[in-house]
């Protein structure tokens, strides 16, 4: 009996509130609270604060819902609704005061993402999507084609491709080698530092495509729906769904070309 539109409204309100707190109450000497998988994988006190604010806001209105958050929220729930939360996606950017970081909230009903919001406070951008109804940036409909593509599929050699790297050194070495092979074949590469923003960038045509190995559910829940609702394709390699193994997003045409390159390089495998 959950209405996706109402869920999106709550998600948007909480993402905006968390965004405000992250901007206005960022300590001057923002320390790193702890590291996670490796010294490069940091979590700040503000990641934890943002997740707490969002979780409390959800449970105050919807006490029976499930939760999955990057900073530890994990709850089954009984309503069939689950909130997938990245309280700061792009934590390293946030730490260095690079404006490309966001709050990402995806909402699932019975395991399917039905609504998503990516709030980018420093850019003044809010990306939203509702399954079956479209994707928007600050309320305006967006499409996953860049202005350069004139609505036609972009060939690989003219594609601006975003990517990201995991935190484990071993995996980075492999990812770096694949990017080195891709670089001569494309217009250029971007490493923005937030998977959720990379997906929104595909959705509004700010880049042509995106791929990354090692994304977690909270990195891609909202942004993945935003890409699809903007007419882009989202998936993994060899016909699988987007997952920790590989996430690829692009407009049709380029999507297939990117998947083909990545499959040839076994980019969804570590060896």
Q: Residue ranges of the alpha helices (H) in 30-90? A: 45-61
Q: Does 193 bind ligand IPD (CB under 6 A)?
A: yes
Does 108 sit near ligand IPD (CB under 6 A)? no
- The residue sitting closest to ligand IPD, measured at its beta carbon, is 164
Q: Is 188 among the catalytic positions?
A: no
Q: Clarify whether 141 is annotated catalytic.
A: no
Q: Looking at 44, 51, 65, 91, which residue is catalytic?
A: 91
Among 57, 66, 164, 235, binds ligand IPD (CB under 6 A): 164
Selected from 70, 119, 208, 229, the binder of ligand IPD by CB under 6 A is: 70
Output phi, psi for 127, to 5 deg: -100, 135
Given the complex with ligand IPD, which of 166 and 209 has the nearer CB atom? 166
Interacting span for ligand IPD (CB under 6 A) from 20-28, 56-64, 139-147, 190-198: 190-198
* Distance, CA of 44 to CA of 42 (rounded, Å): 7
Q: What torsion, rounded to 10 degrees, do the Cα atoms 253, 258, 259, 264 define?
A: 130
Query: Minimum distance between the CB of residue 110 and ligand IPD, rounded to whole angstroms?
Result: 26
Q: Residue with structure tokens 């206005």?
A: 24
Q: How far, in Å, CA of 20 to CA of 88, rounded? A: 12
Question: Quick check: 71 binds ligand IPD (CB under 6 A)?
Answer: no
Q: Are 85 and 104 spatial neighbours (Cβ–Cβ below 8 Å)?
A: yes
Cα distances from 143 to residues 39, 86, 128, 155, 228, in angstroms, run 37, 24, 12, 17, 9
Active site residue 89: yes
Is 105 tagged catalytic? no
CB 223 within 8 Å of CB 104: yes
Distance CA(247)–CA(212), nearest Å, equals 5
Residue among 56, 53, 221, 194 at smallest CA distance from 128: 221
Which of 57, 106, 166, 223 is in the footprint of ligand IPD by CB under 6 A?
166
Binder to ligand IPD among 118, 135, 195, 257 (CB under 6 A)?
195
CB of 99 to ligand IPD, least distance (A): 14
| Residues binding ligand IPD (CB under 6 A) | 70, 86, 89-91, 164-166, 193-195, 212, 214-215, 219
Residues involved in catalysis: 70, 86, 88-89, 91, 219
């Amino acid at each position: 009996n959950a209405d996706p539109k109402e869920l999106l409204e709550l998600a948007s309100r909480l993402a905006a509130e968390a965004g405000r707190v992250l901007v206005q109450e960022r300590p001057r000497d923002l320390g790193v609270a702890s590291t996670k998988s490796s010294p490069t994988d940091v979590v700040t006190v503000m990641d934890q604060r943002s997740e707490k604010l969002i979780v409390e806001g959800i449970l105050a209105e919807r006490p029976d819902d499930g939760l999955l958050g990057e900073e530890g929220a994990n709850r089954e729930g009984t309503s069939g609704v689950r909130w997938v939360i990245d309280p700061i996606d792009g934590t390293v950017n946030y730490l260095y005061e690079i404006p490309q970081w966001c709050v990402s909230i995806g909402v699932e009903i019975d395991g399917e993402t039905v609504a998503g919001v990516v709030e980018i406070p420093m850019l003044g951008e809010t990306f939203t999507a509702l399954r079956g109804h479209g994707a928007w940036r600050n309320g305006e409909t967006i499409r996953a084609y860049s202005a350069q593509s004139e609505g036609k599929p972009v060939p690989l050699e003219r594609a601006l491709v975003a990517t990201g790297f995991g935190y484990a050194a071993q995996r980075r070495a492999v990812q770096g080698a694949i990017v080195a092979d891709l670089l001569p074949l494309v217009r250029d590469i971007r490493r923005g530092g937030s998977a959720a923003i990379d997906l929104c960038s595909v959705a509004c045509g700010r880049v042509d495509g995106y791929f990354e190995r090692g994304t977690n559910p909270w990195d891609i829940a909202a942004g993945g729906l935003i890409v699809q609702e903007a007419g882009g394709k989202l998936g993994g390699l060899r016909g699988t769904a987007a997952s920790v193994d590989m996430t690829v997003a692009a407009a049709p045409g380029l999507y297939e070309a990117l998947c083909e390159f990545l499959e040839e390089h076994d980019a969804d495998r570590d060896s």
